[in-house]
Structure 1
Amino acid sequence: MREREFLRLWVGTTASGLATWALPFVLGLAVLHGDLGAVGLGIVLATRTVGFLAAVPLAGVLADRYSRRAVVLWSGLAAAAASPLIALGVGRSVGLMAVAAVVVGAGQGACRPAFQALTAEVVDPDRRQQANAAITIAVRCSVLLGPALSALLAGVLGVPALLLGIGLFWLVAALVPPRGGGVPVPASGASIVGEFAEGWREACRHPWFLAGLGALTAVIATGYSATAVALPLVARDRYGSEAVLALATTGYTVGALLGALLIARWRPRAQGWAALAGLAVYAVAPLCLLLPVHPAVLVLAYVATGVGIELFNVPWFTATQREVDPRLLARVSSLDFLLSYGLAPLGLALIAPAISVFGLGSTLAACALVCLLAPAAAALAPGARTFSVRRIRMTNGPFVG
C-alpha cells in the first residue's frame, strides 16, 4: 500500500467493484421509493447482464492486443458516461435506463479481465496474493458498510444523486490506475473469435484451470442461487423473521472479509487443494437451509461460506496470473468471468422453477451435493494440488509445462 503504482491500481479496482455492487442496490432503493417498478428493475438489471456478457470476451482480446491500461480507461469512461443517463431515466423512462445499463454492463465486463492482467503487470509475482487479498478486502468492507450508508444518503440526496455518484466511481476506475509494464502484442491477423479461441487453447494447457473453472461455475450456479432465492423463503417460512435474512447475508460478507485477511498471509503447501476445499465449504449453506437448524447455526454457516469463497478466490486469481502466458492472460481471465459469473443469472433463473417442480428440500439437497462434489472432482485434475502444471514432474526428471 506504500507503493504508488499499486495504490493507484488498488483505488481503481476498488472503485470499479464499488460501482458494480452499488447499481443493483441503489436501483432497489428506487423501487422502495416508488420511482421504479419491479418489472423495470428486472429489465434494467437484465440489460446490464447482456452488456457484461457481450463485452467480456471482446475485452479479453483487446486487452491482450492493445494496452490493458487503455482498455480499463475506455471501459471506465463508457460506464461513467452512461450512469447519468440511468439517473435521468429514473421515474421517466425505463427504456433509457435499459439502454444506458447495457453500456454500464459492457464497461463492467470490459474492465474485469483488463484489471486482472494489469495486476500481473504492476505487482511482482511474490506479492500478488497479498495484492489480490488487499483488493478483495477493500471491496468486502465496502459491501459490508455500503448498504446502510447508501440508504441514509438516499433519504438526503435522492436516488438520482446516488446514481451520479456511481458514475464518479467509474470515472475514478478509468483515470486513476497506473500504466503497467506490459508490451501490447500485435494482432495475429485472426478474427476476434479466432484470437479468443487462442485464449481457450491456452486455458486447455492448464487442466487445473479448466477443472477449477468448472467447479466454480457449478458452485456459483447452485450455491449462490440457493442463497439468493431459497434463503429469503426459508427466513420467512421457517423463522418468520427478516432479521435472519439480513444476518445471514451480512455473515457471508464478514466471513469473506475474514477469509481475505487470512489468505493474505497463509501459504498452504497444497494451495490448490486448500482453495478447492474452501470452495466446497459453500455446501454448508444449502445444507443449513435444508435442515431445521437454529438461526445462529445458519448465520455461522454463511460466515463459514464467506471464509471459504475467499480462500478459493484469492489463490485462484493469483495462480492464473502466475501460470498463464502473459500475452494471453486477459483472454483467459475473460473466459473465467464469462463462465463463472456470466452464467450465474442462468442458475438464478432455473432454481425457482426447480423448487416449484421438485420441492425446496430436493433442490437444496441437489445444490449441496453439487457444491461438494464439483470441487472434489476438480481436485483430481493434473496440477490441481498446487494450481500449477509446472510442478508436476515426469518420470525422467524434467518439468511438464
Structure 2
Amino acid sequence: MRPLRHRDFRILFAAVVLSILGAGMWAVVMVYAVIGAGGGPLELSLVASANAVGLLACAIPGGIVADRVSRRWVLRGIELINVLAVSSVVVAGWSGPVPIWHLAIVAFTVGAGAGFFYPSYSAILPRILPPEQLLAANGLEGAMRPALQQAAGPAAAGLLLAALIPTHAAGVVVLAHLIALVLLMFLRPEPAADHAARAPTSVLHDLTEAVRFTVRTPWLLWTLLFATGWVLVSIGPEEVLLPFITRERIGDDPRWFGFLLAALGLGGVLGSIFVSSLRLPRRYLTTMNLVWGIGTLPFVVIGLTDQYWLMLVSCFAIGFAFSYGNVIWGTLLQRRVPTHMLGRVSSLDFFVSLALMPVSMALAGPVAEVVPIPVIFIAAGVLPLCFGVVAILAARMPQDELAHPLTD
C-alpha cells in the first residue's frame, strides 16, 4: 500500500479503478445492446471484432506515443473519448434499439482507447513513484483489473440490466469514465528532465530495436507465439459464444452471464494475490507456460455441461490460471528485458499476444454455424496446452531458466 501515500498515484489509481470498472460494465452492456438490436452470434462477432481491431491497431502506436507525449494528457484524452463514445449509445437509445453499425463504431473507439491507455499508464508510473515502489503499484493494478473488469463491473452491469434497458445502463458507464476524467485533471505535470536525458531516435529505429530483441530471445519469442495461438482458439468462444450458451442452457436473465464473468474476474484476483505471496518459481518459464496451458482445460467443461455451478467453477479456474501466469510474465519482462527498451517490448508483447484476437472473435460466430459449440469449446480447452508444451521445448526453456536464475 506504500504507493498510495503519493498524491499523484492516489489520483491516478482512483481514475484507473473507475475506468476499468466502466470497461467491465461496458463488456456486458455491449452484449445485450447487440441482442436488443435483434443481433445474434454473427452480429456480436462483428461488434466484438471491432473492439479487438481498435485495440490491436493502436497497441504499438500507443507505446510509441507514450514515450514521446505527456502521458497525463494521453490518459485524459482517452477518458474524454470514452465519455463521448458511450454517450452516443445513450443518446441513440432514446429513439429505439441502437443499430449494430453504431455499436461496432463505439466498440472500435473504446478498443482503440485501451490500446493507448495501457502503455501510457505503464510509462507514467516511473515518473510519479520511486523505483522501489513500482512492483507494489503494479501488483495493486494487477489485482484490481480482474476484480473490476471481470468481476465487479460485469456483476454491476448484470444488476443494472435486470432493471434497465442496455442503453440506459450505458449511462452508468459514461458516469464512471466522466469521474475518471475529472480526477485525471488534477494530475501534476511530469518532470521534463526525462526527455532531456535521452538522445533522440526515430520511430522506426525504436520499433526495429524492440522487434530485433524479441526475435533473438527464444523464451520471449516462443511465449508470444504461444499466447497468439491461445488467443486464436480461446478468446472467440469466451467472448462471443459463452453469452449464447448461457442463455440457452441456463436462462435469459443477464445476471447469469454477468456472474460468470464475475467468477472469471474473482479467479484472476485470487490468482494474482496467490502467486504474489510466493517466491518466484525456480522453473519460472516452465511453470508459467504450463499453468497457462492447463488453465484452459476448464473450457472443455463449459462446452459440455448444463450445470451452472460447474460453469462458475470453470470460469474461476480459467481466471485464476491466467492471472497466475501473467504475474510471472510481468516480472520476467521487468527483470530480463533491458530497461531502456522495456516500454517498447511491453507494447510489442501487447500487440503480438492479441494479434489474432479480432480473427478469433470474427470466426467464432460463423464457425458455430457449422461446428457444434461443444466441439469448439473442447478445442479451446485442449489446444493451448499443446501450444504451451511446444513453446517450452522449442525455446529450450528448462535449460534457459537454469542458466538465468531469478532469485530474490
State the TM-score, normalizing by the size of structure 2: 0.77
Q: Deviations over 1:308-330 (max 9, x none)?
A: 01101122223223333333333
1:149 to 2:159 alignment: no
Equivalent position of 1:225 in the other structure: 236
Comparing 305-314 with 192-201, greater Cα deviation is found at 192-201
The amino acid of 1:141's aligned partner reads A
For structure 2, the 5+ residue unaligned runs are none
The amino acid of 1:250's aligned partner reads A
Distance 1:48 1:87 in 2: 18
1:132 to 2:119 alignment: no
Equivalent position of 1:38 in the other structure: 39
Equivalent position of 1:15 in the other structure: 18
Equivalent position of 2:175 in the other structure: 165
- C-alpha displacement at 1:256, in angstroms? 1.3
1:336 to 2:343 alignment: no
- C-alpha displacement at 1:279, in angstroms? 0.9
Distance 1:319 1:72 in 2: 26
Distance 1:133 1:327 in 2: 22
Equivalent position of 1:399 in the other structure: none
Q: Deviations over 1:38-96 (max 9, x none)?
A: 38877665544443333221121122234444433443344345443443333457566
The amino acid of 1:144's aligned partner reads A
Q: Is the 8 A contact 1:80 1:104 kept in 2?
A: no
CA 85–170 in structure 1, closer or farther in 2 if over 3 Å, else same:
farther
Specify the SS of the correspondent of 2:10.
helix
Once the two structures are superposed, the pairs formed by residues 184-333 of structure 1 within 5 Å of their partners are 184=195, 185-189=198-202, 192-193=203-204, 195-232=206-243, 235=246, 241=251, 248-270=260-282, 271-291=284-304, 296-333=309-346
CA 312–64 in structure 1, closer or farther in 2 if over 3 Å, else same:
same
- C-alpha displacement at 1:240, in angstroms? 5.3
Equivalent position of 2:30 in the other structure: 27
Q: Deviations over 1:180-205 (max 9, x none)?
A: 6782345423xx45543332123234
The amino acid of 1:318's aligned partner reads T
Specify the SS of the correspondent of 2:64.
helix
For structure 1, the 5+ residue unaligned runs are 394-401
Distance 1:89 1:160 in 2: 11
Comparing 294-303 with 371-380, greater Cα deviation is found at 294-303
CA 105–225 in structure 1, closer or farther in 2 if over 3 Å, else same:
closer
Comparing 338-347 with 154-163, greater Cα deviation is found at 154-163
- C-alpha displacement at 1:110, in angstroms? 0.8
The amino acid of 1:90's aligned partner reads G
1:3 to 2:1 alignment: no
1:369 to 2:379 alignment: no
The amino acid of 1:20's aligned partner reads A
Q: Is the 8 A contact 2:59 2:350 kept in 1?
A: yes
2:359 counterpart (342, 346, 361): 346
CA 241–385 in structure 1, closer or farther in 2 if over 3 Å, else same:
farther
The amino acid of 1:348's aligned partner reads M
1:72 to 2:75 alignment: yes
The amino acid of 1:218's aligned partner reads G
State the aligned residue count: 388
Q: Is the 8 A contact 1:56 1:110 kept in 2?
A: yes
Specify the SS of the correspondent of 1:158.
helix
CA 100–235 in structure 1, closer or farther in 2 if over 3 Å, else same:
closer
Distance 1:64 1:198 in 2: 15
CA 392–28 in structure 1, closer or farther in 2 if over 3 Å, else same:
closer
1:117 to 2:123 alignment: yes
Once the two structures are superposed, the pairs formed by residues 51-66 of structure 1 within 5 Å of their partners are 51-66=54-69
Identity %: 24
Q: Deviations over 1:270-301 (max 9, x none)?
A: 33333223212333222213555865444323
Q: Is the 8 A contact 1:71 1:110 kept in 2?
A: yes
- C-alpha displacement at 1:372, in angstroms? 0.7
2:113 counterpart (97, 103, 107): 107
Q: Is the 8 A contact 2:19 2:177 kept in 1?
A: no
Distance 2:330 2:275 in 1: 12
State the TM-score, normalizing by the size of structure 1: 0.78
The amino acid of 1:254's aligned partner reads L
Distance 2:186 2:377 in 1: 43
CA 151–372 in structure 1, closer or farther in 2 if over 3 Å, else same:
closer
CA 240–10 in structure 1, closer or farther in 2 if over 3 Å, else same:
closer
Distance 1:249 1:76 in 2: 24
Specify the SS of the correspondent of 1:38.
coil
